[in-house]
Amino acid sequence: MKKGKIAFFVTGNIHKFHEARAVLREFGISTAMLNLDITEIQDDDINAIAKTSAMEAAKKSGIPILVEDAGLLIDALKGFPGPYSSYVYQTLGTTGILRLMKNTGQRDAHFYSAVAFSETGKASSVKCFTGRVKGKIALKEQGKMGFGFDPIFAASDEPDKSFAEMTQDEKNKHSHRAKALRKFGSWFAKRYARSDL
């Protein structure tokens, strides 16, 4: 039986869900948020974390699942916090990162996103789509929108604004997450057109 074109996105982050829903709408894809209790493995590879989470969520739910994992990688800190960004944000926050960088003029950084989709929970069914945005760490927090490290990151192609100074639509023109989701959306829309997903 033909199902509606819908992506089930597992996340507990409502901001991330709203960003994903806006991007996937560009491809005629509806997005439903699921808050499943899944284990996030500790790994240096963001792709591996997203793939493992998607497989576990698909097994638990019995439906095709979309998961996204992301990290902020700072050159002066040798890629820290990277895949541990969520934990570091919860423990150190943006002010902690700014303190770590207090005496460095090297501010280059990038955000990386991995969007993983699993149809059956088996490794062979997992597809991964990635996005990256280069930028710099600001000298201080800027802006009240967005979430996570958005107030201290400015993309290279929009250097005068932090992600937290952008509307959701503006951020989705530049962000790592939006880039990864657009790759997924293009693939998913084509697959849906020729299957009974």
Residues recognised as catalytic: 69
In a 13 Å sphere around the CA of 16, the CA atoms on its Cβ side amount to 23
Contacts of 143 (CB under 8 A, 6+ apart): 150, 151, 161, 162, 163, 164, 165, 166
CA neighbor of 86 nearest in space, from 131, 136, 40: 40
Contacts of 83 (CB under 8 A, 6+ apart): 42, 43, 44, 45, 46, 49, 69, 71
**Number of H helices and number of E strands within the chain?**
6, 7
